[in-house]
Amino acid sequence: MTRSLRVAIVGAGPAGIYAGNILNRQVSEAGGEVAIDLFESLPAPYGLIRYGVAPDHPRIKGIVNSLHEMLDAGTIRLIGNVEVGRDVSVDELRARYDAVVFATGALKDAGLDIPGVGLPGSYGAADFVAWYDGHPDVPREWPLDAEQIAVIGNGNVALDIARVLAKHPKDLLSTDIPANVAAGLEASPVTDVHVFGRRGPGHVKFTPIELRELGELPDVDIVVYDDDFDRAANDPHAEQLHASNNQVKVMTRTLNGWRKPAGEASTASRRLHLHFLYTPVEVLGTDRVEGVRFERTRPVGDGSVEGTGELVDVAVQAVYRAVGYASSPIDGVPFDERAAVIPNQGGRVTDASGAPIPGVYATGWIKRGPVGLIGHTKGDALETVTNLLADAAEGRLPEPADAPGAEGDEIFALLEARGIRFTTWAGWLALDAHERGLGATWEPTAAAYADVVRERVKVVARDEQVEISRSGALVGS
């Protein structure tokens, strides 16, 4: 590098924070200088960890500790409550920074194109997850009025949704679940949650820890069906997976452990059913969801399945579609609508002709699609940052048109002039302390909750988050 760099990263989830940390470390190790501004559309950082992971996943949420250390080091400047493409344009960022890295993730539901999917009572996973995680931009209330619920999907998000729906609210109160979510779940009349996957038990996309957690739910029975296992028994591909993959062995052992002798009755007040080799063909109902029609499938030996023509109707009053996430376009950045990603080569964003756009990069799910676990974003970020620094070393980064001052505070002046109430890292520390204080002073509303200890209570409303953040910290600090 021949000069110090200023880099804007858009998105303060794991992908953006990892990219900033890797960038800072590599530049520092090379004896260079870099200033990094991390823009986030929400008032608080952590993205998927705060607003996309079920609240009862303390092991996964432990990633926050390492993300906190990266931001608390002071080498990355957080600028929250700013939506790039609306509050500040991409061109305005490019005029002020040597490079812009997009790490905005995948926040909306992938489509499920079957009849009836738009009926009242049919919900996307992303919306429900945002609700129970206290995302400030979704309604505070959720219509939990169904006794029987179908969840379509065989991945971790499907299990998260099923577990939150089936779990008794008391067993969620030790988490950071918002008060309005706890109240909504408390009023739910649910008795049965059914999870449907189109492939067999040997091909589920759950991780072993997710699956094992189901068996630990108090007063919730796990129900599996012998017929599903019998239909999958002749799948040689599943046998090969079982023989070569320890993770599959563990999950198969767990699933088989839930098989019960014929006639053994459930003793819990709620049941979580796991169904395999079902593919949805129609959501049934007139004015609202009344059921789902499935076609039974069979394995064809290469890991895929085909329809059998056998149709089965399952009566439910609500359907949750957990069939994948998709990214959204950002005004001023190329977007591949079919793949729902920013087109790129190794993280270098490309134009319609396939040529790299100087100084524009992508990382995380907006770069490669919503696949892989949170830890995979590290390797993703490393590739993008390596290419960014290679471009810097070879003089391919454009000079910013509006050269910033020594402190680079011009971005704050721009936002303030537009009335944007941005938040900072110091503001997040204030909000974090406030939420922990709410947990410490929480009082049980019923005798049954007397033994519950709450570490924090999440603040939901955007304006409230912003007010706490800005009143508890020096703006621009």
Domains 5-107+327-422 and 110-325 share a fold: no
Parse the chain into domains and list their residue ranges: 5-107+327-422, 110-325
Mean pLDDT value of segment 102-107? 90
Report the candidate in 143, 8, 32 with the shortest Cα–Cα distance to residue 89: 8
Amino acid at site 224: V
Report pLDDT for 474.
Answer: 42
Is residue 433's pLDDT more than 60?
yes
User: What pLDDT band is residue 426 in, cutting at 50, 70 and 90?
Assistant: very high
Answer whether 99's CB lies under 8 Å from 399's CB: no
Question: Which listed CATH number (2.30.140.10, 3.40.50.720, 3.50.50.60, 3.40.1260.10) goes with 110-325?
Answer: 3.50.50.60
CB atoms < 10 A from the CB of 352, how many? 7
Is residue 389's pLDDT more than 60?
yes
State how far the Cα of 124 lies from the Cα of 165, in Å rounded to an integer: 14
Name the percent of the chain lying above pLDDT 70. 96
Q: Tokens 């029975």 label which residue?
A: 221
Task: Kindly give the interhelix angle for 246-257 and 236-244, rounded to the nearest 10 degrees.
Answer: 110
User: What pLDDT band is residue 406 in, cutting at 50, 70 and 90?
Assistant: low
What are 143-174's pLDDT values in tens digits?
999 999 999 998 889 999 999 999 998 899 98
Amino acid at site 233: A
User: What pLDDT band is residue 473 in, cutting at 50, 70 and 90?
Assistant: low
In the CATH scheme, what architecture does the domain 5-107+327-422 have? 3-Layer(aba) Sandwich (3.40)
State how far the Cα of 227 lies from the Cα of 221, in Å rounded to an integer: 18
What are 272-291's pLDDT values in tens digits?
999 999 999 999 999 999 99
